[in-house]
Structure 1
Amino acid sequence: MSVSAGRAVREQSWSAAPSGPAGAPEAREAVTRGLGDVLFASFARRDQRRKGEQYLRGLLQTEGRKSIRNIAAQVGGSATEQSLHHFISSSTWDWQPVREALAGHLSRLATPQAWVVHPMAIPKAGDQSVGVDYGVDPCTGIFRGQRAFGVWYATETLNTPVNWRLFLPGSWDGDEERRRQAEIPEGAGGETLEQCAAAAVLEVMASWRVPARPVVLNTHINRIGATIGRFSAAGVPVIARIRGTDRLMMGDPALPGYDGGALTAERILAGVRGLRRPVRAAGTGDTLAVAVRVACVGEPPRRRRGGAADAPGDLVLVGEWRDPQGPPAALWVTNMTAVPAGALLRLTGLGGRACQDLAAAGEDVGLKDFEGRSFRGWHRHMTLASAAHAVAALSRTGGAPPVGAGRGLDGLRTT
């Protein structure tokens, strides 16, 4: 997305916010105080709670880049800069209880409809920031910077990140000197991008006290069987983006392609175009969709009682068309095999909203603005920037549960 396009999205998002008391400064201050009491309850020292509130307010009030220097200038001047730098980069507070408190607070207001995992690329000019590397971004081409995955609390009307996982490429993961300088803890790293994305949300589902809801992996995955299998083993419903060139096996013997062996996802969907039906998908209006049983390449058939072989088909491939004559606009694979295509696409629409919200409000609260070099500093900044994002979103509703939130989708379960 270009700078001008991003600015247009932000202006449209904020201009659409409710006017009057819900969006007034006093509403934002009330939400900030209430959320601060929840978030900083795990802090042992009063000065840490005070600095946490300072930093949170600075993220909300500072114009332009949300660097520690600019935040300090907004909330206390040059003397404050050193103390805030220590609070973010060198203090002892653990960011995980703060993130869990944020997710729990939002979930008490209204149960999320899904947990969305969305990638975030953070451009960097230098090579000192933790995790920075060269790569190829599918939207912008050659990319230099950091890559991270955010876990978003998602409803039809409110989306905010609650957890983050920073991807550590091989140039960092295997370099002991770099790890030491950035204070990367032992055990961090050693994973692919899709493993990083999955781990970001599975740690939430496994150890946080939050509602069990479906997961939308709003990022392309490559090792479909291994990735979806991690969620199925944990009993977590998931739907993930795939590419049309990914190879699968048709799982329904009554449909074309069943005897064709491994086929691309696009070819499988081309064979069932006649089965497409109009559905109402969140955020996209009416669209055409089809859902068919598939299996991963090389997956052996399951066995029924008595020894007869079932057709492989533990997953469902979902195709979505916005242009009836064109190729699918999006392809997804899910372990929610009993859920209709329309309900699945309403879930994936929540992923689209998280993407829009990151481009709009996310930049305004400093999610991409941390300038330090340390692993711990990055995570602490991202934790408080996520809290600032929640404050901005909740203040537009006066801190009340968002309209339409908490309405679950029926039948969301794995096989």
Structure 2
Amino acid sequence: MDRQSIDASLARFTAYVEGLSSVIGHADRAGPLRDYCQGLIMPSERKSVEPIAAMTAPERTAAQHQSLLHFVGQSPWSDRRVLAKVGEMVLPAIERPGPIEAWIIDDTGFPKKGEHSVGVARQYCGQLGKQDNCQVAVSLSLANHHASLPVGWRLYLPQEWATDDERRRKTGVPEDIDFETKPEIALKLIEAACEAGLPRGVVLMDAGYGCNTYLRAGISALELTYVAGILPNTTMWMPGTGPLPPKKWSSHGRRPKLLRRDEKHKPVSAEELALRLPKRAWRSIEWREGTADPLCSRFARVRVRVAHRDYTLTESRPEEWLLIEWPGGEKKPTKYWLSTLPKDISFRKLVDITKLRWRIERDYQELKQELGLGHFEGRGWRGFHHHATLCIAAYGFLVSERETIPPSGPRSTPLFKKPAVPGSRRPRGSAAENRTPCPKLNRDDAPKIDRRGRNHSVSMPMLRNADRATNAAKKVMTQ
């Protein structure tokens, strides 16, 4: 980019931050807001408060550190209002090539040491692919084939935290926050998005959420459609069948109302149904371009009725799509989805929308690797959510700027120059070889996210080009 383009980007950044400043309350928060967002965009090994202070105010780092620490950890501005403002400013840029197509629900984990950071517990961490000590947050992103943007974010508070008054008090967990499962949190994020009037899309979720009947029913009650991953053992009725009607009334006692099943008439698992399908039911479908070749697999789809506890119902559940993926070379199908998309939707379109869930992996990858989403070192509820909100705000600006860079242009733009930091300074979390060990201190540091390929001469990544990001995202895709 030439100097004129850089100046134009700087002007847009200033206008963007001014827009955010309009919803954070006191005018004295505008400076820390700009500095924090700028620090998140600048190149740095860590994006926690102290390194950001050193980058944005090298001549008065101690004062800047205290200012940012208060702004992120204590200042009572509203995460919800800031995220709403980010959506208001960024969604038009995302929608320019086409409307929003999907609302993507997922969660992401942050490995942590110690036990004092809010919500930390031994639980499944997707980043590590196993059970470990971590925090987990649930998010909602709006997406189309051009880009995506998180619009909702909530920490999952495990049961042992929700019922521990002392730990809640020390970390500032709000009184109105009780224990809720991840699907319950997800439904609240979806309800909030509906109330805010955000452009609607198909709700996409993996099996961790899609297997929850309560969540699927809640989405349908909001008049939204979904594509929900399910497990192979999910039970359903074969195409064209359903539960038996209530027993005939014998004229004595209450009239039977509940649906029935018996040994000869019962549902099957999704896997059993898939294995019974004839060869003609399977079709090879491409859904998008990969880094080298188009992404393609074999799919089948049939209309089914979900059988989960339908013997407690008086009416059979409506039909919906069962989509099955069986890649070539695999011994059996690998993925299953239920969908309430229209009956007349084309096969290719159904697969295309289902696979759009990869966008959430792109969000997490960029937020963690480029913007330091997992680098927050505080322990409190407010600081955790404020830091994530500011990371999303910085991400939103970069998403809106991506379209200003020509496809053949450079992918690294010196929008903000990294200042020289005194050589004697060693910010916490840096890779200083001679740092004095303090084994008794439990600072609950988040581990550093994958730094491969990071060019420290870069001053603003602009989220890099689509091909490069797509290639990196393939490594962490779950769809």
- So what's the TM-score if we normalise by structure 1? 0.81
Which amino acid letter does the alignment assign opposite residue 35 of structure 2?
A: Q
Would the aligned equivalents of 1:250 and 1:295 in 2 still touch at CA under 8 Å?
no
Alignment partner of 1:229 is 2:213: no
Aligned residue for 2:38? 57
Q: 1:360 to 1:251 in 2, by over 3 A?
A: same
Q: 1:185 to 1:23 in 2, by over 3 A?
A: farther
Q: What is the distance in 2 between the residues matched to 1:366 and 1:51?
A: 17
Which amino acid letter does the alignment assign opposite residue 358 of structure 2?
A: G
Would the aligned equivalents of 1:224 and 1:296 in 2 still touch at CA under 8 Å?
no
Which amino acid letter does the alignment assign opposite residue 299 of structure 1?
A: D
Q: 1:40 to 1:65 in 2, by over 3 A?
A: same
Which amino acid letter does the alignment assign opposite residue 289 of structure 1?
A: F
Alignment partner of 1:248 is 2:248: no
Would the aligned equivalents of 1:162 and 1:383 in 2 still touch at CA under 8 Å?
no
Would the aligned equivalents of 2:226 and 2:341 in 1 still touch at CA under 8 Å?
yes
Q: Which of 287, 295, 302 is residue 285 of structure 1 equivalent to?
A: 295
Alignment partner of 1:141 is 2:130: yes
1:172-191 mapped onto 2 (5 Å cutoff): 172-191=161-180
Q: CA deviation at 1:181?
A: 1.2
Secondary structure at the aligned position of 1:63 is classed as coil
Structure 2 gaps, min length 5:
243-261, 407-464, 467-479
Would the aligned equivalents of 1:118 and 1:355 in 2 still touch at CA under 8 Å?
no
Aligned residues: 374
Deviation sequence 1:57-98 (CA, Å, 0-9, x none): 011114011111111111121211111111111112111011
Q: Which of 382, 396, 407 is residue 402 of structure 2 equivalent to?
A: 396
Aligned residue for 2:49? 68
Secondary structure at the aligned position of 1:42 is classed as coil
Q: 1:373 to 1:301 in 2, by over 3 A?
A: closer
Query: Bigger CA drift: 217-226 or 122-131?
Result: 217-226
Secondary structure at the aligned position of 2:146 is classed as coil
Would the aligned equivalents of 1:23 and 1:395 in 2 still touch at CA under 8 Å?
no
Would the aligned equivalents of 2:106 and 2:360 in 1 still touch at CA under 8 Å?
yes
Secondary structure at the aligned position of 2:118 is classed as coil
1:302-341 mapped onto 2 (5 Å cutoff): 312-323=317-328, 325-338=330-343, 339-341=345-347
Which amino acid letter does the alignment assign opposite residue 50 of structure 2?
A: R
Secondary structure at the aligned position of 1:393 is classed as helix
Alignment partner of 1:295 is 2:279: no
1:80-159 mapped onto 2 (5 Å cutoff): 80-109=64-93, 110=95, 111-137=99-125, 140-159=129-148
Would the aligned equivalents of 1:231 and 1:237 in 2 still touch at CA under 8 Å?
yes
Q: CA deviation at 1:360?
A: 4.0
Q: CA deviation at 1:22?
A: 12
Q: CA deviation at 1:28?
A: 4.6
Deviation sequence 1:178-227 (CA, Å, 0-9, x none): 1111111123232112222332233222x213112211124523653212
Q: What is the distance in 2 between the residues matched to 1:312 and 1:357?
A: 35
Q: 1:296 to 1:104 in 2, by over 3 A?
A: farther
Aligned residue for 2:19? 38
Q: What is the distance in 1 between the residues matched to 2:5 and 2:145?
A: 23
Q: CA deviation at 1:381?
A: 0.8
Q: CA deviation at 1:260?
A: 5.4
Alignment partner of 1:353 is 2:359: yes
Query: Bigger CA drift: 242-251 or 159-168?
Result: 242-251
Q: What is the distance in 1 between the residues matched to 2:330 and 2:211?
A: 30
Aligned residue for 1:5? none
* Larger radius of gyration between Structure 1 and Structure 2: 2
What's the RMSD between the two structures over aligned residues? 3.0
Secondary structure at the aligned position of 2:198 is classed as coil
Q: Which of 203, 207, 225 is residue 215 of structure 1 equivalent to?
A: 203
Which amino acid letter does the alignment assign opposite residue 41 of structure 2?
A: L
Which amino acid letter does the alignment assign opposite residue 32 of structure 1?
A: F
Aligned residue for 1:16? none
Higher relative contact order (CA 8 A, sep 6+): 1
Q: What is the distance in 2 between the residues matched to 1:160 and 1:61?
A: 20
Secondary structure at the aligned position of 1:136 is classed as strand
Q: 1:121 to 1:260 in 2, by over 3 A?
A: farther
Aligned residue for 2:442? none
Secondary structure at the aligned position of 1:216 is classed as strand
Structure 1 gaps, min length 5:
1-19, 304-308, 405-415
Q: What is the distance in 1 between the residues matched to 2:119 and 2:383?
A: 13
Q: Percent identity of the aligned residues?
A: 24
Secondary structure at the aligned position of 1:220 is classed as helix
- So what's the TM-score if we normalise by structure 2? 0.71
Would the aligned equivalents of 2:230 and 2:336 in 1 still touch at CA under 8 Å?
yes
Aligned residue for 1:9? none
Q: CA deviation at 1:336?
A: 1.9
Q: What is the distance in 1 between the residues matched to 2:274 and 2:220?
A: 24
Which amino acid letter does the alignment assign opposite residue 65 of structure 2?
A: E
Would the aligned equivalents of 2:21 and 2:27 in 1 still touch at CA under 8 Å?
no
